[in-house]
Amino acid sequence: MKRIYFFVGVLSTIIICLALVINPRDISASEKVRLNLEKLDQSIQDQIENHTLLSLSSNPYDYIAENEYYDAIIELGVAALCELENSLVSSDENGLVQYIISIAIEDISHTNVNEILGNEDFGWEDAHEFTTEWLEIKDTVTENVETIIQSELLNDEEKIEKINHYGLLAVLAIESYVNTAEGRQSSFLKAGLKHVVESYNLDEKEIELVYELF
85 and 146 share one domain: no
CA distance 60 to 73: 16
Residue 185 forms part of a structural domain: yes
Structural domain range at position 190: 140-214
* Same-domain pairing of 100 and 163: no
pLDDT by 10s per residue, the chain, length 214:
545 544 444 444 444 444 434 344 468 999 999 999 999 999 999 999 999 999 899 999 999 998 999 999 999 999 999 999 999 999 999 999 999 999 999 999 999 999 999 876 678 999 999 999 999 999 999 999 999 999 999 999 999 999 999 999 999 999 999 888 565 678 999 999 999 999 999 999 999 999 999 8
Same domain, 38 and 102: yes
Domain match, 103 and 148 both: no
Indicate whether 130 belongs to any domain: no
Query: Do 33 and 105 reside in the same domain of the chain?
Result: yes
Residue 73 falls within a domain, yes or no?
yes
Q: Do residues 144 and 73 both lie within one domain? A: no
The distance in angstroms from the start CA to the end CA of the chain is 62
| Residue-level pLDDT at 64 | 95
Helices (H) and strands (E) in the chain, counts: 12, 0
Domain endpoint, select from 52, 87, 109: 109
Within a domain: 148: yes
Residue 20 located in a structural domain: no
Question: Does residue 21 fall inside a structural domain?
Answer: no
Say whether both 144 and 187 belong to one domain: yes
Closest CA to 82 of 130, 136, 29: 29
Characterize 76-104 residue by residue with b for buried, 16 or more Cβ atoms within 10 angstroms of its Cβ, and e for exposed.
bbbbbbebbbebbeeeeebebbbbbbbbb
pLDDT value for 17? 45
**Other CB atoms closer than 10 Å to residue 61's CB: what's the count?**
10
- Name the amino acid, one letter, at 86: N
State residue 180's pLDDT score: 82
| Per-residue confidence (pLDDT) for residue 27, from 0 to 100 | 86
Using the 3D structure, point to which of 68, 88, 109 is the last residue of a domain.
109
Question: Are 105 and 144 found together in one domain?
Answer: no
Q: Residues with Cβ < 8 Å from 78, sequence gap 6 or more? A: 108, 168, 202, 206, 209, 210
Question: Do 145 and 101 have their domain in common?
Answer: no
- Co-location of 150 and 99 in the same domain: no
214 within a domain of the structure (yes/no): yes
Note whether residue 2 is domain-resident.
Answer: no
Number of separate domains in the chain: 2
Distance CA 193, CA 163 (A): 8
What was the pLDDT predicted at 22? 38
